[in-house]
Structure 1
């Protein structure tokens, strides 16, 4: 634990994330209602899928019950971890046109929150073992790099990107202008010291054509020598990435780690990371490959945002000189705390969560 304690007690760095912003309206689906005030929620995502399939030739009528209204998306969910660790990240995205939406108020004190417009809306149906997210993407989909530069102007744009240690961008599959954002972000470092790393989440790879996907990967390869790139995926996105390169997805941690090395070399990227409910694995060009097992959490109260929380933990861990295993352990611990507490951990809470882990 000495390395973790030393790192987290001395963590520092400038984090800049862009450029989304979602308000999540989260619901439970009623399975059985006992009374006006009591009901049993439908708690298993697989069973819900089987119900839909079973009634495919007719129809399905379901009751939903509001659970919470909260922030969602790459920038807030990833940035929350950095904020709780005391880094005060800069978040650029869609948090409210005239005023900050109440869903993002928690970020106004511990982040530098810069809003370019109104957020998109996501309907979330949450289960103990997963979630369904349905987003009305208009505001996020319409945001372009030209809009971004026009909002800031050249002088403020230079100030925004100055002295950045970690640069993050998400989500590729939900942002039609993603490639231009990527090129625009990178262009800010032609004449200044680049960040230590650029971190991004593609989200649902299946949503884009293979041609579009390969074009984006070619851009990443092009810029990797200027800024080392880290791409993070969940288990479904990881399996899709493997299939796009005609590789077999195997859920054994050591084989996933080995596969990530082969993929990383084919893509020409510095680092690839995959996180699942049971383990996380990574391959890095200079450090090799490794994995860390994750205890399956049983007292789950929130799943939406878990993957972004993992990304936030790994991103923050990348500010130090930690091994792959240590970075994965920190990210796993951040995720475990989030799904059982519905918020990010403080430094002390993260250390306590790491202490509980059997694989660190």
Structure 2
């Protein structure tokens, strides 16, 4: 099939699979940020008449010129919103109509205003005050400047206690989808995984299909030993779940290097080979890699590649990857084929960066049928 036929086919399958309310309880965690979306002023004629620095390279040049001197940088707040890989992904999945339970630092004793709408469409268990991200957005990417101290104390005991030990066990066992993201910023995440594997997974009901999604979230600052331990730990969940490892292009470079998989020039063909190699190396069911303009995936049987609805000047880019993850996870939950699951991913992300909001399933179907 050509690209248009693939999209039309994916939209048709999605419509068929969502003709009834989605009955897949989902549990996600364990981060939480308030995102301040910021543009950097380039030229200012008046309060209303100004331009923004267009690219990361142009910003770097501005900073370079200030070396040994000083510089005044004006930041313009564009939006304050819920943030963190987990809340953004969970919020996107809630927009599809999926029942969501979320564990993360969303504010105490009251839920932070940035998460209040989310808390109305999901069952949330707050683990403390949220962390903060200043997201500097450019036409060619973004720089995320985080204050992460709020994540330091999050561990298995805190998560289980927030719901009550027995209630957490029940929520875990009933969930048909689990998403655990932002491994890089949660120092205890590998330890959390180990406790889940020893305490909760062995009690899961047998012969039920479940999906689990992992996103490491830019592990560059973590040691090779830590990354390897995380990889081998998450692979153990494949005994109980259909495991998906989600990576952007840069993360796939890093994971391939750590696992001893040959890295060459990144193309749709070579990234499909890399995704398949990661699946084989870890013995997990699925690996998905999403560069900016396209996405690839592999399972133990096949690989797939689709182009995405790239837009040169997105309305928002922070959270685009999390929306891709939500869309691909939806496609996997609905047991769509690999190409169709990729298309639900790139279409969810494409809708989001154009509209600065998460799509409903009807929005997603319309976008699949009509994107240009």
Task: State TM-score, norm by structure 1.
Answer: 0.94
In the TM superposition, 1:10-29 aligns within 5 A as 10=20, 11-29=22-40
Task: State the alpha-carbon separation in 2 of the partners of residues 156 and 300 from structure 1.
Answer: 41
1:9 is the counterpart of 2:19: yes
Match of 1:155, SS?
helix
Task: State the alpha-carbon separation in 1 of the partners of residues 293 and 178 from structure 2.
Answer: 27
Task: State the alpha-carbon separation in 2 of the partners of residues 157 and 163 from structure 1.
Answer: 10
2:168 alignment partner in structure 1: 157
- State the 1:317 CA deviation: 1.4
1:230 alignment partner in structure 2: 244
Contact 1:272 1:282 in 2 (8 A): yes
Alpha-carbon deviations, 1:207-256, whole Å to 9, x = none?
A: 11001111111112233222232110111111222232252143311221
Task: State the alpha-carbon separation in 1 of the partners of residues 341 and 80 from structure 2.
Answer: 31
Task: State the alpha-carbon separation in 2 of the partners of residues 60 and 289 from structure 1.
Answer: 49
1:250 is the counterpart of 2:250: no
1:36 alignment partner in structure 2: 47
1:356 is the counterpart of 2:356: no
Task: State the alpha-carbon separation in 2 of the partners of residues 23 and 345 from structure 1.
Answer: 21
Residues matched between the structures, number: 357
1:48 is the counterpart of 2:27: no
Alpha-carbon deviations, 1:266-310, whole Å to 9, x = none?
A: 22222111111111111112x411111113113511111111111
Match of 1:66, SS?
strand
Task: Name segments (4+ residues, structure 1) moved above 4 Å.
Answer: none
Deviates further, 200-209 or 293-302: 293-302
- State the 1:338 CA deviation: 0.4
Task: State the alpha-carbon separation in 2 of the partners of residues 302 and 54 from structure 1.
Answer: 28
1:204 alignment partner in structure 2: 218
Deviates further, 212-221 or 326-335: 212-221
Task: State the alpha-carbon separation in 2 of the partners of residues 264 and 50 from structure 1.
Answer: 40
Contact 2:173 2:203 in 1 (8 A): no
2:361 alignment partner in structure 1: 347
Alpha-carbon deviations, 1:93-134, whole Å to 9, x = none?
A: 111111111101121222112212111111111112211111
Deviates further, 3-12 or 16-25: 3-12
Task: State the alpha-carbon separation in 2 of the partners of residues 83 and 227 from structure 1.
Answer: 21
1:335 is the counterpart of 2:349: yes
1:214 is the counterpart of 2:224: no
Task: State TM-score, norm by structure 2.
Answer: 0.91
Out of 297, 319, 332, the position equivalent to 1:282 is 297
Unaligned runs of 5+ in 2: 1-8
Q: Over aligned residue pairs, what C-alpha RMSD do you find? A: 1.7
- State the 1:54 CA deviation: 4.5
1:188 is the counterpart of 2:200: yes
Match of 2:265, SS?
coil
Unaligned runs of 5+ in 1: none
